[in-house]
Amino acid sequence: MSGKPRQCCVVMRINLDCNACCRKVRRIVINMKGIDTHMIEKKEDRIIVCGRFRPSDVVVKLQKKMKRRVEILEVEDLTGGEEGFHDHEPPYEPDHEYSEQQPDHMTMPFLF
């Protein structure tokens, strides 16, 4: 994962039933570090958040605090396009190789 958060704008979908839900989302977003601006659209059940943060961190925090599903609809990178924001992590590769001579726990009987 990249260490530094980049300047981005994220559109998320969350179920906003009432005005109390909107106030709770607003309070959560305002107290988060790195968020410059936000907009809550109650009728469309959308939240737009801009600033210097990782989108996954915002989603996880909203899910935990609101106890609701949060969907990322769109992520726009505002850093100028030096590196793509949608860079994927390299696939997991184990540090060591398993040899064929290691016993298999399914075929080897336990010795008590």
Distance between CA 68 and CA 17 in Å, rounded? Answer: 11
Q: Is 108 helix (H, G, I), strand (E, B) or coil?
A: coil
Distance between CA 1 and CA 51 in Å, rounded? Answer: 18
- For the chain, list the domains and their CATH numbers: 6-77 (3.30.70.100)
**C-alpha of 23 from chain center:** 22
Q: How far is CA 45 from CA 31, 59, 69, 82, 89, in A?
A: 20, 14, 12, 32, 30
Give the helix/strand (H/E) hosting 71.
strand 70-77
Is the pLDDT confidence value at 100 over 60? no
Which H, E and C letters describe 43-87, residue by residue?
A: CCCEEEEEEEECHHHHHHHHHHHHCCCEEEEEEEECCCCCCCCCC
Is the pLDDT confidence value at 21 over 70? yes
Q: 0.75 cut: is pTM over it?
A: no
pLDDT in tens, 27-43: 999 999 889 999 999 99
